[in-house]
């Protein structure tokens, strides 16, 4: 998405995470994010948007384990997570009038909508 951010025009793009407020600056710097990062420590927004947690078997399925194995082969060592790795994310477009016009709720940690789908929803809003 980073390489197509300019295609969103004047739409405001933000990331909402449940990391602690005190960690936001480092979080944004580590991921080199060009847009605002907001925190929802208590996950009120996550619940309001209908986001949930994945069962362990889905979050750590075959594709995730393959990815970890690939990273280890490349010489990287997995680090102990500091966040809830079972929390599922989502992508949403809210219109100028405050109405939710697009919702994508992940069923797996690696699931995200196509950028073209988000762009179309943002343009329609």
Domain boundaries, the chain: 2-124
pLDDT digits over 7-22, tens only? 998 888 999 998 889 9
Please report the pLDDT score of residue 57 as a whole number. 86
Which pLDDT belongs to residue 64?
A: 79
Contacts of 121 (CB under 8 A, 6+ apart): 93, 101, 102
Listed as ranges, residues in the chain with pLDDT below 50 are none
Pull the structure tokens for residue 52: 């949930």
- Encoding tokens for residue 117? 């789908």
Name the CATH architecture for the domain at 2-124: 3-Layer(aba) Sandwich (3.40)
């Amino acid at each position: 998405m980073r390489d197509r951010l300019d295609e969103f025009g004047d739409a405001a793009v933000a990331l909402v995470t449940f990391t602690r407020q005190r960690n936001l600056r480092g979080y944004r710097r580590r991921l080199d994010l060009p847009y605002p990062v907001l925190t929802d420590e208590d996950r009120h927004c996550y619940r309001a948007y209908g986001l949930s947690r994945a069962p362990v078997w889905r979050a750590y399925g075959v594709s995730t384990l393959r990815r970890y194995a690939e990273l280890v082969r490349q010489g990287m060592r997995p680090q102990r997570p500091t966040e809830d790795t079972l929390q599922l994310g989502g992508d949403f477009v809210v219109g100028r009038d405050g109405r939710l016009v697009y919702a994508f709720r992940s069923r797996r940690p690696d699931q995200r909508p196509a950028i073209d789908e988000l762009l179309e929803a943002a343009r329609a809003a």
